[in-house]
Amino acid sequence: MKARKRFREMLSEPGCIVTPGVYDALSALAAQLAGIEAVVMGGYGVSASRLARPDVGLLTMSEMAEQLKMICDAVDIPVIADGDTGYGNEVNVERTVQEYEHAGAAAILLEDQEFPKRCGHMAGKAVIPAEDHARKLKAAVAARQDPDFVIIARCDARGPLGFDEALRRGHLYLETGVDMLFIEAPQSAEELAIIAKEFRGAKLVANMIEGGKTPELDAAALGDMGYKVVFWPCTAPYVVLKNLVDVFAALKEDGTTVRMRDRMHSFTEFNSILNLDRFSVCRNP
């Protein structure tokens, strides 16, 4: 997989990788058109788009894998995929890794929450014993078939068990042979800096959610700290919902979309973006 190999290369290059969240093929295409070099398919956006429900563990592995394949088929850039808890024990993790790899993902992240999980910035999270998650991570490493497929260990212990336990778990998880570490929802810029210092030399992920528990820093500042990948997983659904409501409200009020046209593509523009000309059966005689 060219995208998978490319993501491996990106992890060794200088700079911090700006990685917005996408939830379907069209949002992924939008990111690629904007010049984004990698995206993350997060459960938050997929749950919102498929179910209009919050990220509280309602999606199945097969639903996520199906969505992932459509996203990977639509773009050439690497797609990092949210594997949630792996949807069960080590055996389930093995299948999840293989299904995500077959779908075309460049990387998978696996978290240590209890099932059903929740968005990492929501209250009410609970985590499984660290040793249990370490076994699941070892199973993930053993299950991958392409050595370029990146496995990311995510730790959600900061909220329920405290910062020191999150750091302890981070060291344990890195010992399993995973490629990257993602300590979710640190609660200050100081905590972000301590994580970067504590795990200096490791490939680290940071997560920026508008209005979440972690202070919002830009990619340059996070890169200077030592983070390699920065997710903005919720930006797309927040933007889409706000703008659709605004446009639909204007349509209801005016009976036309004329005053909102500057926020829309035209019929011709949109068809061109989707490469209509490639499909000869659709051409007019």
Q: Which residue has the tokens 């993930």?
A: 140
| Predicted pLDDT at 280 | 66
The answer to whether the CB of 29 falls within 8 A of the CB of 73 is no
Q: pLDDT tens-digit profile of 148-194?
A: 999 999 999 999 999 999 999 999 999 999 999 999 999 999 999 99
Q: Band of the pLDDT at 120, cuts 50, 70, 90?
A: confident
The count of C-alpha atoms lying within 13 angstroms of the C-alpha of 161, restricted to the half-sphere facing its C-beta, is 18
| Predicted pLDDT at 283 | 56
Q: What superfamily does domain 2-241 belong to in CATH?
A: Phosphoenolpyruvate-binding domains (3.20.20.60)
Distance, in Å, from the CA atom of 226 to the CA atom of 195, rounded to the nearest integer, reads: 9
Beta bridge partners of 111: 154
135 is written with which tokens?
Answer: 């076994």
Closest CA to 45 of 195, 216, 235: 235
If one compares 120 and 93, the residue with the highest pLDDT of the two is 93
Rg for the chain, CA atoms, rounded: 20
- State whether the Cα torsion 245-246-251-253 is positive or negative: positive
Q: Band of the pLDDT at 282, cuts 50, 70, 90?
A: low
The answer to whether the CB of 187 falls within 8 A of the CB of 120 is no
Q: Band of the pLDDT at 279, cuts 50, 70, 90?
A: confident
The three-state secondary structure class of 149 is coil
Q: pLDDT tens-digit profile of 48-93?
A: 999 999 999 999 999 999 999 999 999 999 999 999 999 999 999 9
Query: What percentage of the chain reaches a pLDDT higher than 70?
Result: 98
Q: pLDDT tens-digit profile of 226-278?
A: 999 999 999 999 999 999 999 999 999 999 999 999 999 999 999 999 999 88
Q: Where are the domains of the chain?
A: 2-241, 250-282
Rounded to 5, what percent of the chain is helix, strand, coil?
50, 15, 35
The total of other beta-carbon atoms located within 10 Å of residue 273's CB is 13
The answer to whether the CB of 80 falls within 8 A of the CB of 8 is no
Name 193's Cβ contacts closer than 8 Å, sequence gap at least 6: 225
Q: Which residue has the tokens 């490629």?
A: 179
Instruction: Tell whether the model's pLDDT for residue 98 goes beyond 60.
Output: yes
| Predicted pLDDT at 263 | 93
Q: pLDDT tens-digit profile of 12-28?
A: 999 999 999 999 999 99
Instruction: Tell whether the model's pLDDT for residue 116 goes beyond 70.
Output: yes
